[in-house]
Amino acid sequence: MTAREDEPAGREPDGRPEGRERPPGRRPDASMSLLADLFAGRRLDPGYAEAAARRAASGGAGSRPGRLRGAGVPLVLALTGALAAVAGVEVHRSEPVAAERHSGLVDQIHARTSEADALQHRLDRLRADTERRRAGALARSAEGRRVRREVAAAGAAAAAVPVEGEGLVVTLDDAPRGARGAPGRAADARVYDQDLQVLVNGLWAAGARAIGVNGRRLTPTTAIRAAGEAIMVDYRPLGGPYEVTALGDPGRLRAAFAGSPADRRLAALRDRFGIRYGTRRSDEVRLPAGGAARLRYAVPGEGGGR
């Protein structure tokens, strides 16, 4: 016998050494019984086959699981329907409770907003009175007048005092609902906090001396952020249309802002998605003082020395 190229010489094709007889009664493929059973068409393990034979010999007991399964399908469907009905009843019961809670939260928001506005008006009156008293005290001497000018300049830079004059007003607003088009474009047709940030930074770069959004003065530490669908300016929610007022010479501001990256971005939003964007000059611009600044690193000096 000639050995195959893929088998070692000196062995038979079944793996036994040459010249050695097979043990009597042993199949040549005994080590591959699983494969042999599969090729022979036997799908059950002998243990499973024996159990099936015992059930058949016991008088048809093996048909009981089938009857149970047939009766279990309607039972499962009935239980599913009952659970769905209970869930629907619970949802209907919870809707009035959820609506009542929502209404209560909205009322609380309006109440807290009114309280905050009243406190802000009181703070503005106290600041104005303090400023009048300080100006009167500093105007009594030449040194005091010099200090007054320095304080006024520092207060304007820190948005701590009201300012007024002429300026430029830029208006941003969401696109009209009829012009928003497909649902996928509706989100792009809204004004986002990033758009206001770009606009404000562009006006600062154009030379604005003070900026306000919907009447709220921006300070060096004012944040413009988004909370859900609302835009927060200095942690106060604002709604559109958004009027960004820049204090300064209107002609110079318009000339410096036109064609800037901020102007190009907003013009692209207007042309592509229908965002309402426009500018106008105003001869009477008045911006209140900003919110109270919190000292983060500086502390008052001892003895009041400068």
Q: What is the per-residue pLDDT for 210?
A: 92
| Residue 225 domain-assigned (yes or no) | yes
Residue 5's pLDDT is what? 42
Domain count, the chain: 2
Any idea what the Cα angle at residue 290 is, between residues 289 and 293, rounded to 5°? 125
Between CA 100 and CA 169 the distance in angstroms is: 41
Whether 272 is covered by a domain: the verdict is: yes
What are the residues whose beta carbons fall under 8 Å from the beta carbon of 191, sequence distance 6 or more? 172, 173, 174, 231, 240, 242, 275
Is 24 a domain residue? no
pLDDT at 2: 40
CA distance 224 to 259: 24
Q: In this predicted structure, what is the pLDDT of residue 71?
A: 57
In a domain, 105, yes or no: no
Output the tens digit of pLDDT for each of the chain's 306 residues: 444 344 444 444 444 444 444 444 455 545 555 545 544 555 545 665 677 677 677 655 444 445 445 556 677 777 787 777 777 766 666 677 777 787 888 888 888 888 888 887 887 788 778 878 877 777 777 777 787 777 777 777 777 778 889 999 999 999 987 655 545 555 678 899 999 999 999 999 999 999 999 988 998 888 899 887 789 888 888 888 999 999 999 999 999 999 999 999 999 999 998 999 999 999 988 888 876 666 677 676 776 544
Please check whether residue 34 lies inside any domain of the structure. yes
Q: Is 253 part of a structural domain of the chain?
A: yes
Q: Which two tokens stand for residue 4?
A: 């195959």
d(CA 138, CA 39): 109
Is the residue at 135 inside a domain?
A: no
pLDDT in tens, 182-204: 455 556 788 999 999 999 999 99
**Distance spanning both ends of the chain, measured CA to CA:** 113
Tell me the CATH number at 190. 3.30.70.1880
pTM above 0.85, yes or no: no
Q: Do the domain assignments include residue 90?
A: no
Alpha helix (H) ranges present in the chain?
A: 33-40, 46-57, 64-138, 142-157, 183-186, 193-206, 250-257, 261-273
Domain limits at 235?
Answer: 166-287
